[in-house]
Amino acid sequence: MNTLFDKIWDSHVVSLIEGGPTQLYIDRLYCHEVTSPQAFDSMRARGIKCLRPERIFCMPDHNTPTHDQDKPIEDPVSRTQVDTLARNAAEFGLTHFGMMSKDNGIIHVVGPEKGLSLPGMTIVCGDSHTSTHGAMGAVAFGIGTSEVEMVLASQCILQTKPKSMSIRIEGELGKGVTAKDVALYLMMKLTTSGATGYFVEYRGSAVRSLSMEGRLTLCNLSIEMGARGGFIAPDETTFNYIKGREYAPKGEAWDKAVEYWKTLRSGDDAVFDKELVFDAADITPMITYGTNPGMGMPIDGRIPEDAARKSLDYMGLTAGETLLGHKVDYVFLGACTNGRIEDFRAFASIVKGRKKAEGVTAWLVPGSWMVLDQIKEEGLDKVLEEADFALRQPGCSACLAMNDDKIPSGMYSVSTSNRNFEGRQGPGSRTFLASPLTAAAAAVTGVVTDPRELL
């Protein structure tokens, strides 16, 4: 019996090249300002138009500042990239969600929340964290600039079919354990190359119990285990999330879509190339100590004795020490990993009735204008304000050093983003990856703190 990955992939095959890659049809292409300019330039030089412009959506996110978005962008490089995307979208007749529009935000947050990313789709973007959209029950993966051009021109891509992996997590997640902790736990176990060459299907009772926001976080981090992508079979949680969203099917089309989506599951006798099973009870709140997302440990654990010396030197840490009580300079809540409404609810649940610690700079960045509106509707902005926190405008922000939000050299950041490479959040910056609960605990105590103590 075929896996769900086989079903979606095989139904999108246009042709097979003998001894070569597969020509795969793509349902949705997302373009942001970083990886698309050369693709559009090449299209222009060749005199080619987009084959299916209605299936392509453009949005700036990496270079957008998270303050004063109504004013011209100060950084000339960022301004050029954002302006170039707007011009290219207009010239090629593509939908463009520009800065300050209600539709703007981080592309991997906006796609699902607008009902653009749907079960059974193939979805690509020139960004590795495109795997996020797999939470919708789609085959979604990042592509390079030349491949972006390929999809612009033909709505197809040449790809070698990855192997399939099942990661099953059974049982109930404990107190203070979030989807982010599940992902960091899997990376600790599998390392950053443990899923290389595979497309991962997340399964099991613990996965099914996750909200859509949690599933989006888990799938977002698939790439950090080396996987080509990760996804979760659609179920009632998925359908309830999609229903009524702007681009979701309506009326009879909705009923028909759900009927089809219900068939999107791996059979009981499906054969995966690799199968792994984990117990949810073994997962605790997690934190990273090194310079790749696989260098993680339970928050109350100790840095392994065999941890890479180079990483520890960069982080200013030593093997055997605990991170609990370690000073924190910056806290970042946001990114395509944890910039959704559930993440702000979690953060607010910890800081409510408390105050931001002295000496901590906190950047709270919603993943979209829709998330920001929801924060205000639910009164979370008031909770945050009373605790001395301020909200910023949507964008990728401090996830990567491509806009104004950079962590200064030598400073420690507890970040809800996806990568902790050397210099990722700014030259010389030192990043501890963690969940929104752990970030909130650090923000009110000024040190790395087990969130379970404050829940």
Residue 74, Cβ neighbours under 10 Å: how many? Answer: 10
Q: Encode pLDDT of 332-345 as tens digits.
A: 999 999 999 999 99
pLDDT of residue 377: 98
Asked if pLDDT for residue 346 goes beyond 90, the answer is yes
Instruction: Tell me what the mean pLDDT of segment 75-100 comes to.
Output: 97
Asked if pLDDT for residue 1 goes beyond 80, the answer is no
Q: Encode pLDDT of 384-443 as tens digits.
A: 999 999 999 999 999 999 999 999 999 999 999 999 999 999 999 999 999 999 999 999
Residue 301: pLDDT band by 50, 70, 90 thresholds?
very high
**Cα separation of 155 and 29, whole Å?**
8
pLDDT of residue 318: 98
Residue 23: pLDDT band by 50, 70, 90 thresholds?
very high
pLDDT of residue 394: 98
**Cα separation of 94 and 120, whole Å?**
23
The DSSP code for 453 is: G
pLDDT of residue 190: 97
Residue 141: pLDDT band by 50, 70, 90 thresholds?
very high
pLDDT of residue 257: 98
> How does the average pLDDT of the chain come out, rounded?
97
Q: Is the dihedral of CA 26, 30, 35, 41 positive or negative?
A: positive
pLDDT of residue 32: 96
pLDDT of residue 338: 98
Task: List CB contacts of 204: < 8 A, sequence separation 6 or more.
Answer: 168, 169, 170, 277, 278, 280
Please answer whether residues 288 and 192 qualify as being in contact, where contact means their C-beta atoms are separated by less than 8 angstroms: no
Residue 424, Cβ neighbours under 10 Å: how many? Answer: 22
pLDDT of residue 42: 97
Asked if pLDDT for residue 97 goes beyond 80, the answer is yes
H or E segment to which residue 348 belongs: helix 341-351
pLDDT of residue 411: 98
pTM, whole model, 2 decimals?
0.98
Asked if pLDDT for residue 223 goes beyond 90, the answer is yes
Write b or e for each residue in 203-226: b if 16 or more Cβ atoms lie within 10 A of its Cβ, otherwise e: bbebbbebebbbbbbbbbbbbbbb
**Cα separation of 352 and 384, whole Å?**
7
Task: List CB contacts of 291: < 8 A, sequence separation 6 or more.
Answer: 308, 310, 311, 314, 315, 420, 421, 422
**Cα separation of 406 and 358, whole Å?**
20
**Please, which residues bridge with residue 165 across strands?**
200, 274
